[in-house]
């Protein structure tokens, strides 16, 4: 996206300082940036909403994302996220659980503040299009934050007006009403955002893509083995609208999606519907993408004083998938480093990086881009120059197929097959001639692994078939392993993998949702009360 780096950094830092207190219950005040003296021009609206693309998401991206979404989903082997791998998260976890939970309410608070300020700005000369862009972004971001909250905590408080609710004890609202709000927000965003990106920002198709995802997930809520047909139809409708009208296309190769040159704050690729836009700067803190700092397996990769991921890696379950499905090697190499893999885009000055750690885990490759020297001089300490995908076109292809399958055991629908096979063709895989739910689910898992949606997919399955979702997690291998390349093997490469004693940590009904952080319960004991219905008459569009 063509954001102005200095402007975004300055506004982002100022907005965070003035707009977010330590606890989301101490809701942000109406201050300099959120009162009528700002948001009066198109430029001010763009500057004021720019932080919604990065700084408010920092605490989620920094540690919580990989714990909540990937460790819980069985994709990550980690020495410091084991509680999430084992579905045994303590409410006292102040390093990941608490900041992760609070991050979503920061997003909601800033979205609410900016939305209200744009609406109420006095003496505004902003264009209707400029206002709609800003208002649509606010509602889009609020809907996204609630999507993560409802998938991770279930019934949570709906905060719709930071000022009006400041003296109210937080009350958890029902899961059904949280979903109603999410759909409401994305429908609003789809109606107000432009069809063509302004400075590479969100469009109506970004919102329609999220609507396709949301309707598909909600289709299973409170169902018993089947899914709600009306929601399935809506998911299919919005997915097809994005596919046929957005003008986006699949990137030619999977690996290029995760190269800095094709996915940064100055350039979106042809597949990105929504991505967090990180700046290649370490200061001001919060506009930086710290992912590589934690998951690059050695400091020589980054050369910036970070690269602490030696004890992080791809899970045994994913390793089993890739060794049992060697044809999926194009995606595999872009997702995880296996012994003897070579990456010419990293450590370019010395001919590339060769992964030669035969006694170690498969290291994570996705979003690992190397040093500033490998990336046009851009980047720094805990600040890799790459965006974080939140929604890509390939996922919309798979959503269309899943919604078309609906409640059938399998489908041979030509259009559904064509979309799934387009994703598979890019991965170098053979076409499918029919589709089942489990096949589409697996395709989506592999295609989007480490992109922050994996756990929500398991919850989606749990909604309408808890027994199968729990059986799926119960079969996931989570033990340690070592891997050695078999010399001379090619097309496909072969590996000797030695697994430790098998470890399984199945999901249960009592561990589906994360505990509320103890610090939040202390501040707001009302969070322990039963969920209540939300009064939607309080919402003013």
Listed in order, strand segments (DSSP E) in 62-189 are: 76-78
Tell me the pLDDT tens digit for each residue of 347-364: 999 999 999 998 889 999
Average pLDDT for 404-408: 98
Q: Is residue 304 scored above 60 in pLDDT?
A: yes
Q: Is residue 346 scored above 50 in pLDDT?
A: yes
Tell me the pLDDT tens digit for each residue of 239-281: 999 999 999 999 999 999 999 999 999 888 999 999 999 999 9
DSSP 496: E
Query: For the chain, how long is the longest CA-to-CA vector?
Result: 72
- What's residue 174's pLDDT? 98
Average pLDDT for 189-198: 96
Whole-number Å distance between alpha carbons of 346 and 471 = 39
> What is the pLDDT confidence band of residue 491, given thresholds at 50, 70 and 90?
confident
- Report the range of poorest mean pLDDT among 32-36, 322-326, 387-391, 420-424: 32-36
Tell me the pLDDT tens digit for each residue of 165-177: 988 899 999 999 9
> What is the pLDDT confidence band of residue 36, given thresholds at 50, 70 and 90?
low
Q: Is residue 383 scored above 90 in pLDDT?
A: yes
- What's residue 217's pLDDT? 98
Nearest to 158 by CA among 172, 169, 147: 172
Does residue 284 have a cis bond before it (omega within 30 degrees)?
A: yes
- How high is the mean pLDDT of the chain? 93
- What's residue 359's pLDDT? 83
- What's residue 3's pLDDT? 44
Whole-number Å distance between alpha carbons of 421 and 400 = 12
Nearest to 398 by CA among 179, 240, 185: 240
Average pLDDT for 373-382: 97
Average pLDDT for 194-217: 96
Which CA distances in Å does 52 have to 93, 384, 448, 526?
A: 26, 19, 23, 29
- The percentage of the chain sitting over the pLDDT mark of 90, rounded to a whole number, equals 89
How many CB atoms neighbour CB 530 within 10 A?
8
- Please name the residue that has the structure tokens 């982002």: 12
Residues 6+ apart with CB under 8 A from 263: 257, 269, 272, 275, 386, 387, 389
Q: Is residue 318 scored above 50 in pLDDT?
A: yes
DSSP 29: P
Tell me the pLDDT tens digit for each residue of 48-79: 999 999 999 999 999 999 999 999 999 999 99
Whole-number Å distance between alpha carbons of 188 and 430 = 40
Q: Is residue 7 scored above 60 in pLDDT?
A: no
- What's residue 13's pLDDT? 38
Cα angle 479, 481, 484; round to 5:
160
Helices and strands, number each (H, E), in the chain: 20, 12
Nearest to 61 by CA among 313, 280, 447, 387: 387
Residues 6+ apart with CB under 8 A from 32: 18, 38
> What is the pLDDT confidence band of residue 33, given thresholds at 50, 70 and 90?
very low
- What's residue 199's pLDDT? 87
């Amino acid at each position: 996206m063509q954001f102005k780096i200095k402007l975004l950094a300055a506004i982002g830092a100022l907005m965070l300082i003035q707009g977010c207190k330590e606890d989301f219950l101490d809701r942000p005040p109406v201050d300099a940036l959120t009162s009528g003296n700002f948001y009066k021009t198109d430029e001010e609206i763009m500057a004021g909403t720019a932080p919604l693309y990065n700084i408010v998401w920092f605490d989620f991206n920094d540690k919580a994302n990989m714990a909540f979404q990937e460790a819980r989903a069985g994709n990550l082997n980690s020495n410091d996220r084991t509680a999430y791998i084992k579905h045994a998260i303590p409410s006292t976890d102040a390093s990941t659980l608490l900041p992760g939970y609070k991050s979503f309410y920061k997003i909601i608070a800033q979205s609410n503040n900016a939305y209200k300020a744009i609406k109420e700005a006095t003496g505004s000369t902003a264009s209707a299009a400029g206002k709609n862009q800003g208002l649509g972004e606010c509602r889009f971001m609020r809907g996204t934050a609630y999507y993560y909250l409802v998938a991770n905590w279930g019934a949570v408080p709906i905060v719709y007006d930071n000022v009006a609710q400041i003296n109210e004890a937080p009350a958890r609202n029902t899961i059904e009403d949280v979903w109603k709000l999410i759909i409401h927000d994305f429908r609003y965003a789809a109606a107000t955002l432009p069809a063509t990106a302004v400075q590479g920002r969100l469009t109506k198709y970004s919102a329609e893509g999220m609507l396709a995802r949301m309707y598909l997930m909600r289709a299973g809520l409170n169902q018993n083995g089947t899914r709600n047909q009306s929601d399935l139809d809506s998911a299919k409708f919005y997915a097809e609208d994005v596919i046929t009208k957005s003008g986006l296309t699949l990137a030619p190769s999977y690996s290029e999606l995760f190269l800095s040159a094709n996915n940064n704050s100055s350039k979106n690729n042809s597949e990105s519907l929504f991505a967090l836009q990180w700046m290649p700067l370490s200061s001001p803190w919060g506009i930086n993408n710290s992912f590589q700092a934690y998951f690059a397996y050695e400091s020589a990769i980054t050369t910036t004083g970070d690269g602490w991921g030696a004890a992080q890696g791809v899970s045994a379950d994913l390793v089993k998938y890739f060794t049992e499905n060697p044809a999926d090697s194009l995606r595999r190499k872009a997702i995880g480093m296996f012994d003897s893999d070579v990456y010419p885009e990293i450590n370019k000055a010395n001919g590339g990086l060769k992964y030669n750690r035969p006694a170690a885990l498969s290291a994570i490759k996705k979003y690992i881009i190397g040093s500033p020297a490998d990336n046009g001089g851009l980047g720094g300490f805990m600040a890799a120059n790459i965006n974080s995908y939140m929604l890509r076109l390939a996922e919309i292809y798979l959503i269309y197929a899943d919604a078309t399958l609906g409640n059938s055991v399998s489908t041979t629908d030509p259009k559904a097959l064509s979309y799934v096979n387009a994703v598979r063709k890019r991965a170098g895989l053979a076409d499918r001639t029919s589709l089942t739910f489990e096949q589409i689910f697996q395709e989506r898992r592999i295609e989007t692994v480490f992109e922050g949606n994996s756990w929500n997919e398991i919850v989606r399955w749990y909604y309408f078939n808890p027994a199968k979702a729990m059986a799926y997690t119960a079969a996931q291998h989570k033990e340690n392993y070592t891997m050695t390349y078999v010399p001379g093997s090619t097309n496909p490469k072969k590996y000797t993998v030695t697994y430790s004693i098998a470890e399984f940590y199945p999901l249960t009904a009592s561990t589906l949702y994360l505990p509320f952080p103890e610090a939040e319960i202390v501040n707001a004991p009302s969070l322990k009360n039963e969920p209540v219905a939300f009064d939607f008459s309080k919402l003013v569009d």
